[in-house]
Structure 1
């Protein structure tokens, strides 16, 4: 009897951990500046028909002493002189099978005009993600935390 109960509990916890790992990246996220810790923008991430994820700036968060830039600064085509609000800044992310990891994406920094490789790790609750932007080698990049907006 005790063995059946233990097996049942193990199955339930196994199912719960699978559900936690099945969290979807799609949703609305508050981008947090990795240097200042203050909110920067609101990003809406959507799942595309080809099963990749794309993130668009839907709101630029006002910060004291900072006038938000309206156009993509020194950005390569097709971003050149495009409005930052409404811009797809995150593209091509693919979920790593059976995990909360997403990789093979690209992210543009519209303030610096640079495009970086990107990967994301979604935490187990699905309420925070860590975006890692880098050029070539992940260890030489920077990370940002984004918080899911309900």
Structure 2
């Protein structure tokens, strides 16, 4: 019986560690320019594909009921709270990196090529948005 508990505990610890090295979960995005927390984003995985929505905005300038005026697709005019901003990322083979997706900046309506990399044991997530050779990286913090 004691062995069963040890094995079960070890399996749970491994599963928890594996889950933490994934972008799936709730994240607080931190603006790379101001250092301000702006929103909480919920990232999910469905059939191997990552997507993410703004769960709630927490930045100083967040206005209730604000819509994405700058969006250029079906998200135009949709509420920013609940807006899907991450689409289509997939895990790179043999790496703890998710790429080939897109991330939307609802402030300017632009979509960028996306790369997600869990770091610091999965406590942080490097979110890289790029357009051609240009890009920037934000570090998001996992919300427990």
5+ residue gaps, structure 2, are 1-13
5+ residue gaps, structure 1, are 1-15
Aligned residues: 128
CA RMSD across the alignment: 1.9
Q: TM-score, normalised by structure 1?
A: 0.78
Based on CA coordinates, which of the two structures has the bigger radius of gyration? Answer: 1
Q: TM-score, normalised by structure 2?
A: 0.81
Q: Tell me if structure 1 keeps the 8 A contact 2:23–2:117.
A: no
Q: Distance in 2 between matches of 1:59 and 1:22?
A: 22
Q: Distance in 2 between matches of 1:88 and 1:20?
A: 25
SS at the partner of 2:122? coil
Match of 1:147 in 2: 141
Deviation by residue 1:48-90 (Cα, 9 ceiling, x = unmatched): 12x1100110010032xx2437111221111111111001100
Match of 1:94 in 2: 90
Q: Distance in 1 between matches of 2:59 and 2:117?
A: 27
Offset at residue 20 of structure 1 (A)? 6.1
Determine which of 29, 32, 36 is the counterpart of 1:31: 29
